[in-house]
Amino acid sequence: MKDILKKRAVIVGLAIFAAVLILVLSAVFFGGRSSFLKSAASAVSAPFKKGVSAAASGLERLYGYMYKYDSLAAENEQLRLQIAEMENLVRDSEAISEENERYRELLGFAARHSDFTFESATVTSWTASNFSSAFTISKGSSSGIKLNDSVVSSDGCLIGTVTELGPSSATVTTVVDTTFSAGALVESSGVSCVAAGDFELMRKGQLRLSYLPVGVELTNGELIETSGIGGVLPRGIRIGKVVSAQYEAGSQALTAVIEPTVDFSSLSQVFIITDYEISE
């Protein structure tokens, strides 16, 4: 038995020696190239390495997520604020752009009436009454506004007149209100007449043109402007255009319905003519 064991030990020893010898010889003869054993070891260890690497990178990501969460949340909040600020800027710039457009329009009107002095104001509220047509503006006597001053839109169309005045606000009664009455001219022919508010037409946002001379013909779409007679309103401010004309029953008097060229429902900014030269 002992002999057998001795023989086996010798054989194993010789085998180990041979293996070492082969490794040494392969290292000597194939230096720099991976040996078969090395490749085999590499092939066996590769999945383990991949697994460990994946686990490590997962842990790293988790750590990074936990570590960076606060900074990302803060950055997100900051970006939200930036977006809100930029949205506000866009809104402001849109409002400024619209305001600029209105001033550009007014510039054209002001060029035609160089004697007019303007004061701009915003519409703060409309009356809740169904029996009148009026609104409140954001400026009053402290801005140089006076009673009966004309109020126009940016394109120079008559909106109404100042009928009530406070230090920092004023009430403007529109041209369709029953209390409005002004001398008017047919723009194309220069025929003089009177434009006045009418109770029935007020609900439709229109006013009536009356006291037209006998024999005058009016066509739909003709423009009507203020005559300046009476000295309350300046001359040459557009009131509206004719939408219908008819003879009064039983007489030869012609009356017409005018529609203001201003859309009252979309008014936000108005211009008050605080001073002008009365033309003789």
Partner 1 sequence: MTGKAIAKKIILYAVLLIVISLLQGSVFTYVKLFGAKPLFLPLFAVAFGLFEGSLWGGLLGLAAGIFCDFIVGDTLVLFTVLLPLLGFACGLLSEYILARGFPSFCACALISIFLCGFLQAFKYYAFTDIPFWPITAVILLQAAASAVFIIPVYWAVRFISRRAKA
Look up residue 156 and give its DSSP letter: S
Asked whether the beta carbons of 229 and 278 are under 8 A apart, the reply is no
* CA torsion angle 94 98 103 105 (round to 10): 140
Q: Is 128 in the site for partner 1 (CB under 8 A)?
A: yes
Asked whether the beta carbons of 242 and 261 are under 8 A apart, the reply is no
| Residues in 162-191 that interact with partner 1 by CB under 8 A | 171, 178
Please tell me the distance from the alpha carbon of residue 198 to that of residue 207, in angstroms, as a whole number: 6
Q: Is 132 in the site for partner 1 (CB under 8 A)?
A: yes
- From the list 7-15, 80-88, 119-127, 180-188, the region that binds partner 1 by CB under 8 A is 119-127
Shortest Å, Cβ 79 to partner 1: 35
Beta strands 134-137 and 254-260, pairing class: unpaired
| Residues in 247-276 that interact with partner 1 by CB under 8 A | 265
Of residues 108 and 166, the one with the C-beta less far from partner 1? 166
Of residues 129 and 251, the one with the C-beta less far from partner 1? 129
Q: Is 129 in the site for partner 1 (CB under 8 A)?
A: yes
User: What single-letter amino acid sits at 35?
Assistant: S
- From the list 3-11, 123-131, 213-221, 255-263, the region that binds partner 1 by CB under 8 A is 123-131
Asked whether the beta carbons of 156 and 270 are under 8 A apart, the reply is no
Binding site for partner 1 (CB under 8 A): 125-132, 134, 136, 171, 178, 199-200, 203, 265
